[in-house]
Structure 1
């Protein structure tokens, strides 16, 4: 029987923690990183080897980072904070991580990305449509980071571009309750439930689908107006109001490649049933 790979999950937050827990329960040797000292005991209790790693202050924990990367698979789940400096600090952290990664035994990287890398093309969007972002927004930090890890000859990298993340503690109705004059009420939403995120990442590792790029969004794409009104009502909150607009800018993310390659059927295909 083939021995299960050692997996390091960088970023054990809303998605990373339940993902690391799942792999540990499946018998994988799992390491998990956090930037919060208080979370170390929680990771340990879940059967995850805990590491305190903050790439923004990596000079303070270089040995911890080296030890953390003693694995065969790295699942990289660090959402960029783009509003402060356009993503430059995020890219600096990714370049630093690459330096340590090249000196590690990691041979497969699973990069958790986002469908925000796509332009609003007012149509269905597949993985190849990232060409328009490369052309129109060549400094897009998340896409640059994806390419950093995909372009290496030292490992194979699969990128998963998730839609908006919903489920668990993320209840979208809270963010929109009572807001007025919101734009693009007729635009389709591109969302995915936490359960499907976990199932998809597990399947990629188990089926060894490396060297790929996948979009991952629920099959259904209700309008922003319908979805967020229902999401707030489900929480007993005041529904938002959307402005009437002459033109709606949108993208409708297609996950067909993922469904075909992984033989995947979404557990939560209809966002209107998320609540």
Structure 2
């Protein structure tokens, strides 16, 4: 199999290493010179590429891939204009290629901070984050393209408690809409190899404990300091449901609860 990863960051690197270990041919883009050399050294066909300024083909890159993973971010710190250009370039770049299936990694941050149980069809288009939806729509214009909205992502060296050591935690009364990296990787593997019936899926662990409890469990597990205090300044109860993809792929989560991350 031949894979392409656009935006080989934390998730992309983990996926690339797994696919490479399984004997597949992996191509990957990065904006970083250091990351480019790291990927090349590991056996990945890496290329340095900035989609904010470029949409030209890459010399010597194949025109045909089995599967494509797009993990290029649409972050709030960038303007709508910057993101529009970025994803127009991504779209133009990908439209030249032939492939079986494409998956774009988005975020459950697309949903507003409200007290509700939210699945993929719960909200109107106008209720969603404008910048993330812009990126999603651009990718959905491509053939055989699917959007995966990831929950807060943890695993390996990304530990929830680390962000609150000796600090004040103001979000402890919120529900955790998290997912473990190992589950994301397993679901991607299944999704690429099996038919998908819907255009958009949430990837979120099925259990939603309070973030306060996740912080405490994470700190104890990793011998980290607890927060100085918990202040429930932002206590809306948003619960993002990920059962659609789980049921469709008949998947059992390795980490069903963020308390066990």
Q: In the superposition, relative to structure 1, how do residues 17 and 183 fare at CA in structure 2: closer, same or farther (>3 Å)?
A: same
Matched, 1:28 2:24: yes
Name 2:86's counterpart in structure 1.
93
Q: CA RMSD in A?
A: 2.3
SS of the residue corresponding to residue 51 of structure 1 reads strand
Matched, 1:144 2:129: no
Partner Cα separation in structure 2 for residue 39 and residue 183 of structure 1: 34
**TM-score, normalisation: structure 1:** 0.85
Name 1:213's counterpart in structure 2.
200
Name 2:145's counterpart in structure 1.
157
Name 2:224's counterpart in structure 1.
236
CA contact 1:183–1:243 (8 Å) conserved in 2: yes
Name 2:97's counterpart in structure 1.
104
Partner Cα separation in structure 2 for residue 174 and residue 151 of structure 1: 39
CA contact 1:77–1:111 (8 Å) conserved in 2: yes
Higher helix share goes to which structure?
1
CA contact 2:27–2:44 (8 Å) conserved in 1: yes
Q: In the superposition, relative to structure 1, how do residues 173 and 244 fare at CA in structure 2: closer, same or farther (>3 Å)?
A: closer
Equivalent runs, 1:1-275 vs 2, <5 Å: 4=1, 6-58=2-54, 62-64=56-58, 67=61, 70-85=64-79, 87-131=80-124, 134-137=125-128, 140-152=130-142, 155-180=143-168, 182-209=169-196, 212-233=199-220, 234-244=222-232, 248-274=235-261
Number of residue pairs matched by the alignment: 260
CA contact 2:103–2:146 (8 Å) conserved in 1: yes
Deviation, 1:257, is 0.7
SS of the residue corresponding to residue 58 of structure 2 reads helix
Partner Cα separation in structure 2 for residue 173 and residue 254 of structure 1: 23
Which sections of structure 2, spanning at least 5 residues, go unmatched?
none
The Cα offsets for residues 196-221 of structure 1, whole Å up to 9 and x where unpaired, read as: 11111111111143753111111221
Partner Cα separation in structure 2 for residue 210 and residue 157 of structure 1: 11
